[in-house]
Chains A and B, each alone.
Chain A
Amino acid sequence: MINLAIDLAFILEKLVLIAVIIVISLLVALYTTFGERKVAGYIQDRYGPNRAGPGGIFQPFADGIKLFMKEDVIPSSSNRFLFILGPGIAMTMAMLTSAVIPWGNEITIAGRTISLQIADINIGILYVFGVVSMGVYGIMIGGWASNNKFSLLAALRGASQMISYELAMGLSIIALLMLTGSLSLKTIVDQQSTGWWNFFYQPLGFLIFLICAFAECNRTPFDLPEAESELNQGYHQEYSSMKLGFYLFAEYVNMFISSALMSTLYFGGYDIPFVNDASMGQSIGTNWLAVLQAVSLFAKVGFFLFFFMWVRWTIPRFRYDQLMKLGWKGLIPLALFNMVITGLIVLIKENGWPF
């Protein structure tokens, strides 16, 4: 008999978890905008914003209030429905990926074991790729609905760039999947908790994944969709007020999520480095362990966020033909090579080193 009774507590637990994770990723994205300006300032020998509140910590809220207060212009020649849909899609798709990322191990509250992952689906990575490729639609629809040549050009650039780099990203992931043998992010993290981090098995794969993540997030040096010297503002040229804010915000949420993904796939996820997590859990209790693990994950994510900014304020933008050349002639052959080598090694290993 199939039990069709609805587990109310389960639904409640997941809803709370979803709310918490959405709030956290929004907050992180909010403060990433601030961090970006600070990092930009420090790299350029300035201080960055430091007036709103001590050290400028209220700056993101001031920015948000400013964006909300701005006049919301919808161009008369635009497609009204799609114009509003664009930023919505961009934002939603940016948030959706967080569902499969394990933010920590299990915690136990009032006898219930709660996994700090919204959905541990066995095709986690496929889900991530599906959602990420949906993210193109946000840019595409926004650029097209604006009814502006620059926006359309930028949207086309963005779409072709994201599709090209998704290929190399997928190929670099395949090599990783050969090693792990699982598409579930939770299983991948568990494997890394006991053994070495995947980064040490797949340094080339990580490099390709990193470069593709930059391209997927439309970050410098691949921020061609918003190359202001060529396309004014890019696909969000006609946007104003919070719709523009949504686009800018989606970029930061994307950054956060791809940082989390990189940490999960290659740097052990919530695994605390140099510590045996299982034995530590027995000494301080699983709840505290889960908290420490979440902190560990966020430290890794924080490093990657900083890395994103660091690269942005160091490297100039690629030219469009260079971008395509790097994607198709550079990264895809490299990822294929990596895949073949990994496959070879996995095969040899399974046959027990016959030489």
Chain B
Amino acid sequence: MQTLTNRAKPVDRRPMTVLEKLYLPAIAKGMGITLKHFFKKKVTIQYPEEKRPFSPVFRGLHILNRDEEGRERCTACGLCAVACPAEAITMEAAERMEGEENLYREEKYAAKYEINMLRCIFCGLCEEACPKDAIYLSETFAPANFKREGFIYGKNDLLIPDPKKEPEQYQKALGSRVKKS
């Protein structure tokens, strides 16, 4: 019979020899193997102190981005909500008033922007759909919560810190996934 790989081995059905029936050599061999593993380097990652680095294409929690002057980029066009296959995104648009030019980049902005993290499948289609580079997926994941309401992330949770007021936290939140524009 043609085998798929050359690793296949026929089953050895010969009767056991006396030495094999004694089991003790096999047991000694097995104990040698376990002893070798005893001194091996452990593969455990000690979680809270040590963290496994995420891959560069990891898609985690969403972040609503700001521009260099700290203005929100989102214009509440709704393309992300349309693109979302899980229908996790809802938003309400509002018009920018006089004197709010330092807060919002365009004339229209999202007064309310919510993502239900229980519905979200972290596919990243919202990030692809966004014409303003306003939303992107970061390198962290949603922490556990006791209530379902806790998983509905509003603008407070999603917005990136202001690059002018809190530049360090901004850089930390920015991560390496954001498109540099």
Contact = CB atoms under 8 A, between A and B. Distances in A.
Interface of A: 39, 42-47, 50, 310-311, 313-315
Interface in B31-76: 31, 33-35, 37-38, 40, 42-44, 46
A39 B37 CA distance: 11
Interface of B: 27, 30-31, 33-35, 37-38, 40, 42-44, 46
Contacts of A46: 42-44
Interface hub of B33, B35, B42 (most chain A Cβ within 10 A): B42
B31 A42 contact: no
13 contacts: A42-B37, A44-B37, A45-B37, A45-B42, A45-B43, A46-B43, A47-B44, A310-B34, A313-B34, A314-B30, A314-B33, A314-B34, A315-B27
A42 B44 contact: no
B17 to A, nearest CB: 16
Contacts of B34: 43, 310, 313-314
Contacts of B46: 47, 50
* Dominant SS among interface residues on chain A: loop
B35 A310 contact: yes
A213 to B, nearest CB: 15
**Pairs of residues from A and B, 10 with the lowest C-beta to C-beta distance, nearest first:** A314-B34, A43-B34, A42-B38, A314-B30, A314-B31, A47-B44, A46-B44, A45-B43, A43-B38, A43-B37
Contacts, number: 34
Contacts of A47: 42, 44, 46
A263 to B, nearest CB: 20
* Dominant SS among interface residues on chain B: helix
Contacts of B42: 42, 45-47
Contacts of A311: 27, 31
A220 B40 CA distance: 23
A45 B30 contact: no
A44 B30 CA distance: 13
Contacts of B31: 310-311, 314
Contacts of B30: 314-315
Contacts of A42: 37-38, 42
A46 B40 CA distance: 9
Contacts of B35: 43, 310
B163 to A, nearest CB: 39
Interface hub of A43, A46, A313 (most chain B Cβ within 10 A): A43
B40 A314 contact: no
A52 to B, nearest CB: 14
B40 to A, nearest CB: 6
A39 B39 CA distance: 11
Contacts of B44: 45-47
Interface hub of A44, A46, A310, A314 (most chain B Cβ within 10 A): A314
A46 B38 CA distance: 9
A315 B30 CA distance: 8
A47 B47 CA distance: 12
A39 B4 CA distance: 40
Given A39-B38, A45-B42, 13 more contacts: A43-B35, A43-B38, A45-B40, A46-B44, A47-B42, A47-B44, A310-B35, A311-B27, A314-B27, A314-B30, A314-B31, A315-B27, A315-B30
A215 to B, nearest CB: 15
A323 to B, nearest CB: 13
Contacts of A310: 31, 34-35
A29 B33 CA distance: 27
A37 to B, nearest CB: 14
Contacts of B33: 314
A310 B37 CA distance: 11
A46 B43 CA distance: 6
B99 to A, nearest CB: 54
B141 to A, nearest CB: 22
Nearest to B36: A43
A50 to B, nearest CB: 8
B13 to A, nearest CB: 19
Contacts of A39: 38
B151 to A, nearest CB: 28
A161 B40 CA distance: 36
B94 to A, nearest CB: 49
